[in-house]
Amino acid sequence: MCGVIGICSDGVAWEAYRALLAIQHRGQNSAGILTMNDKFYRKQGDGLVSEVFQNYPLDELKGKKGIAHVRYPTAGTDPASEVQPLFINYPYGLALAHNGNITNCEELKGFLREKRRSLQTDSDSEILLNVLADKISKHGLDEALGQTLDLVDGSYSSVMLLGKDEGSVIGFRDRHGIRPLVIGKKETECGTNYMVCSESVGLDVTGYELVRDVKPGEAVYFSNGSMRSKQLHPPKPAHCIFEYVYFSRPDSVIEGQSVYEVRFKLGENIDFDKDVDAVIPVPDTARTAALGFSLKYDIPYREGLIKNRYIGRTFIMPTQRYRESAVIEKLNVIRKEVSGKRIALVDDSIVRGTTSRRLVNLLKRYGAKEVHFVSSCPPITNPCFYGIDMTIKNELIASKGTDGIEKKINADSVTYQSIDGLVKAIGLPRSHLCLACLTGDYPTCMTCERVKELGQARENERNNWKEPRR
């Protein structure tokens, strides 16, 4: 998962920087901004946005058009060489920032070999950029993008900066619109500014008004105060449910649905039949669902777990070693809220079970009489190949069913959300959602060979993953 931004504005560098800070939760490995006037300017590096741009004079990023990126690696092995935006100089200056995962990389590498285009990294985003460059060198822009969508499988909500003529910023989404991408607009004395961003919070913090989502299969083009759009493919929506459950910020709006409201309803929609004394959320993502849950069942809501906010998210970290050490370090317990009590511990999901078990053990160590684990997401039974790092099926604790999960995580019981409860909370038609990690029904072509190949590739990448140089 990553975050992308594209801006056409008279304050592009500052706006990109502020919007990047707002979507920092989408990726903490690297950050970058690339702008252009009659040439390109780029600043990027490993680390958080504030680290990459510390003491950097943003005025050096000149021009009125730019794209930006925060990266969370789910493909690729070397953070330093895969920092985005990526840039290529053929057929003219072309830059790309990509959010998602390409699932037919091997086929596309074959296509690029035939075209004598060579790659420098293992990044699927570099493949996407090269396919685009090849198509743009031969066709008009709409045709080139349409053909790229035909060729490339997987998820890609992306932004592109084109150095041709006066330059333009383009945002486009795969035909399923798996990852979010929204359009914002701001009227100023100098004219109309436009922004596309992975989440609407990026628009909020820079004074842009949310216009709408980029449609699945659509490209939007921005140049000098104007916008046009082209539906490249009939949309077949399959929006990722995990964006609502866990990944996006609660103050974002995706496909017209407030993430906060969805999470609140997720809490209300859980069927629960245990006697408990308190509801305790796992901070921060489960707070809203725990609130809905507590109000529905009239059980007191208590903050029993306190998070050290200076330690990054555990799930987003690329290796198990990073995740486990961060879980231990980042939470502390308020003993009085826990000791001698029967607790409903609400979390957004149970993925591998590592975090869940440690949380239960932590509460029991502080004297909890019973811990009943409540997941606001249904059981995750299948891998995700579209940008969430759960590519390896046998790592998922519910991959073979949910029987006995309470024992595995040392809880007194485990209660899951139902798929119907989830769909109802999101408020979009079920047919417009990707539920593949819950049902195994993938929106894109996922043959057994491809599933095996992607799982293996991810495992190899993890083993070869190099820690960022800071």
Beta strands in 259-397 (DSSP E): 278-281, 305-307, 331-333, 342-347, 370-375
- The candidate with the shortest Cα–Cα distance to 366, out of 358, 375, 354, 356, is 358
Q: Rule CB under 6 A: is residue 254 a binding residue for ligand SF4?
A: no
Between 178 and 326, whose beta carbon lies closer to ligand SF4? 178
Query: Which one among 241, 282, 423, 454 touches ligand SF4, defined by CB under 6 A?
Result: 241
| Candidate ranges 7-15, 24-32, 236-244, 346-354; the one touching ligand SF4 (CB under 6 A) | 236-244
Query: Is 436 a residue that touches ligand SF4 (CB under 6 A)?
Result: yes
Question: Given the complex with ligand SF4, which of 34 and 266 has the nearer CB atom?
Answer: 266
Site membership for ligand SF4, residue 386 (CB under 6 A): yes
What is the distance between the alpha carbons of residues 70 and 83, in angstroms, rounded to a whole number? 8
CA 238 to each of CA 176, 192, 219, 224, 279: distance values in angstroms, whole numbers, following the listed order: 5, 32, 17, 32, 33
Stretch that binds ligand SF4, among 14-22, 107-115, 325-333, 434-442 (CB under 6 A): 434-442
How many residues bind to ligand SF4 according to rule CB under 6 A? 11
Span between the terminal Cα atoms of the chain, in Å: 21
CB atoms within 10 A of CB 120: 10
Q: Using the minimum distance from each CB to ligand SF4, give the nearer residue, 130 or 349.
A: 349
Name which of 242 and 264 has its Cβ closer to ligand SF4.
242
Q: What are the DSSP E strand ranges found in 224-274?
A: 226-231, 239-240, 253-254, 257-258
* Sign, Cα dihedral of 424, 429, 432, 435: positive
Residue 160, Cβ density class (10 Å: 0-12 exposed, 13-18 middle, ≥19 buried): buried
What is the nearest approach in angstroms of ligand SF4 to the Cβ of residue 182? 18
Q: Which of 384, 398, 405, 422 binds ligand SF4 (CB under 6 A)?
A: 384
CB of residue 390 to ligand SF4, shortest distance in Å? 7
Does 266 bind ligand SF4 (CB under 6 A)? Our answer is no
Q: Which alpha helices (H) appear in 306-387, and where do they start and end?
A: 320-330, 335-338, 354-365
Catalytic option among 2, 197, 240, 437: 2
Which 8-state DSSP code applies to residue 245?
I
Does residue number 242 form part of the binding site for ligand SF4 (CB under 6 A)? Answer: yes
Q: Contacts with ligand SF4 in 158-187 (CB under 6 A)?
A: 178
Q: For residue 388, state whether it binds ligand SF4 (rule: CB under 6 A).
A: yes
- Helix, strand, coil shares of the chain, percent, nearest 5, are 35, 25, 40
Establish whether 2 is a catalytic residue: yes
Q: Which residues are catalytic?
A: 2
Q: Residue numbers of the site for ligand SF4 (CB under 6 A)?
A: 178, 240-242, 384, 386, 388, 434-437
